[in-house]
Amino acid sequence: MSREYETLQVEDLGDGLLLLTLNRPSVANALNTQMARDLLAFFDDASAAPNRQRCIVLTGAGDKAFCAGGDLKERLGMSDEAWQDQHLIFERMVRAFMACPVPVIGAVNGAAYGGGCELALCCDFAYAADTARFALTEVTLGIMPGVAGTQNLPRAVGERRAKELILTGRAFSAGEAYAWGMLNRVCAPAALRSEAIETGRRIAGNAPIAVRQAKHAIHFGLQMDLASGMMLEIEAYNRMVPTEDRREGVRAFNEKRKPQFKGR
Do 189 and 73 fall into the same domain?
A: yes
**Domain housing 42:** 8-204
Would 138 be classed as within a structural domain?
yes
Q: Catalytic one among 6, 11, 74, 138?
A: 138
What sign does the CA torsion over 182, 145, 119, 70 have?
A: negative
pTM of the model: 0.93
Alpha helix segments (H runs only) across 19-131: 33-48, 72-75, 80-99, 115-122
Q: How far apart are CA 95 and CA 89, in angstroms?
A: 10
Would 168 be classed as within a structural domain?
yes
Do 15 and 100 fall into the same domain?
A: yes
Do 59 and 173 fall into the same domain?
A: yes
Question: Which percentage of the chain shows pLDDT scores above 90?
Answer: 88
Would 263 be classed as within a structural domain?
no
Interacting residues of 101 by C-beta distance below 8 A, sequence separation 6+:
46, 47, 50, 212, 215, 216
Do 30 and 149 fall into the same domain?
A: yes
Q: What is the mean pLDDT of residues 125-136?
A: 98
The CATH number that applies at residue 185 is 3.90.226.10
Do 37 and 84 fall into the same domain?
A: yes
Do 180 and 234 fall into the same domain?
A: no
Nearest residue to 67 (alpha-carbon basis) of 132, 9, 131: 132
Which of the residue ranges 111-115, 125-129, 187-191, 251-255 would you say has the lowest mean pLDDT?
Answer: 251-255
Q: Catalytic one among 81, 91, 118, 235?
A: 118
What's the pLDDT score for residue 1?
55
Measured CA to CA in angstroms, residue 128 lies from 125, 135, 140, 211, 244 at distances of 10, 14, 25, 23, 36
Catalytic residue list contains 138: yes
Q: What is the mean pLDDT of residues 187-204?
A: 97
What burial letters (b/e) apply to 110-123, b meaning 16+ CB within 10 Å?
Answer: bbbbbbbbbbbbbb
Angle at CA of residue 130, ends 128 and 136, nearest 5°: 60
What's the pLDDT score for residue 2?
58
Would 264 be classed as within a structural domain?
no
Do 14 and 62 fall into the same domain?
A: yes
Do 114 and 150 fall into the same domain?
A: yes
Do 197 and 212 fall into the same domain?
A: no
Catalytic residue list contains 176: no
Do 193 and 214 fall into the same domain?
A: no
List beta partners, residue 56.
18, 104
